[in-house]
Amino acid sequence: MGTAEESLAVEAVDAINDIAGIHPGYRAAHAKGSLWRGTFTATVDAARLTRAAHMQGQPIDATIRFSNGNGDPHAPDYARDGRGMAVKFYLPDDTRTDIVALTLPVFFARTPGDFVEFTRARRPDPETGQPDLQRLGAFLGAHPEAQPAIQAALSAEPPASYVRCVYHGIHAFRWVDEESDGRHLRYRWEPEEGVAAIDEDEARSRGPNYLQDEMIERIERAPAAFRLALQLAEDGDPVDDPTAAWPGERETVIAGRLEITAPERERERGGDVLVFDPTRVCDGIECSDDPVLRFRSRAYSVSVERRSAAVGPAA
């Protein structure tokens, strides 16, 4: 990645910090989260679509991180916010691959430059503590493609649990099978228990860490599970634009089941740096040319350098 892209990655992290503040040791975005252990088992349909090692049907160990979108690690769980679900798969050859997903069905920026512009537009006014609505309105007027994601974020009620949300992989990937035939698709994690939300008053009454606390109590009782659904693209569907939804009637394939079994207490301790990067793919899975997807790895690198000052590769 060239100097211009590196500079833009720094600008992106700076813009996030301008909104949420600088919190040493934490991610720039999705700062508040919890780690869990799980096992993923792919379906026969997944193996037909890709030769990727974790999609061949044998149980695969996984690390899962649920998070709030805010860059402030002290923001309460009841705050109106998007939620994140990131999954790291540990492949048989000791490599790793990741899926990163959000409760938003689409993204609010088509390009990295748009992301920086929108994030700057959200920066609170020092006098009022609130965003400048005129500046936000100007951005939305120039970027109507951002409105579906923003409307989804504003209308979302607090979730009853992290495992009662649908999480969307907003980027497209190309799965390649044994014959090297490929198909573009998007990921979606669907909770086996179904979707459930609560109103804001109920969420507040449960406390600022209610999502974290609920997960601990829930997993102590029994595992929770998600289905990995794939929405398959057809000719003409925009595979490089994360702001564009595909038609709802597109074919959906269930690719596997993720079972969450226990808290993960070994990662992110003693200098361990854990990064979930959607561009970390393996043989049988290819990134699309979505510019936001391609940019994320560079932005994550900036965030990692700031939160950990770690030397060497993150896993």
Q: Where are the domains of the chain?
A: 3-308
Whole-number Å distance between alpha carbons of 103 and 99? 13
**Whose CA is closest to 30, among 61, 68, 66, 56?**
68
pLDDT score of 214? 97
Q: Which of 23, 30, 74, 143 is catalytic?
A: 30
Q: Quote the pTM value.
A: 0.94
Which region among 20-24, 188-192, 211-215, 239-243 has the lowest average model confidence (pLDDT)?
20-24
Annotation marks residue 168 as catalytic? no
Whole-number Å distance between alpha carbons of 125 and 233? 42
Tokens 């609920």 correspond to 214
Homologous superfamily of domain range 3-308: Catalase core domain (2.40.180.10)
Q: What is the pLDDT of residues 133-181, one digit of tens each?
A: 888 899 999 999 999 999 999 899 999 999 999 999 999 999 999 999 9
Q: What is the pLDDT of residues 259-312, one digit of tens each?
A: 999 999 888 777 778 999 999 999 999 999 999 999 999 999 999 888 876 434
DSSP states of 212-257 as a string? HHHHHHHHHHS-EEEEEEEEEP-TT--TT-TTPPPPTTS-EEEEEE
The token pair at 120 is 């700057």
Whole-number Å distance between alpha carbons of 43 and 41? 7
Run of H or E including 137: helix 133-142
Contacts of residue 307, defined as CB under 8 A and 6 or more positions apart, other chains included, come to 24, 25, 26, 27, 28
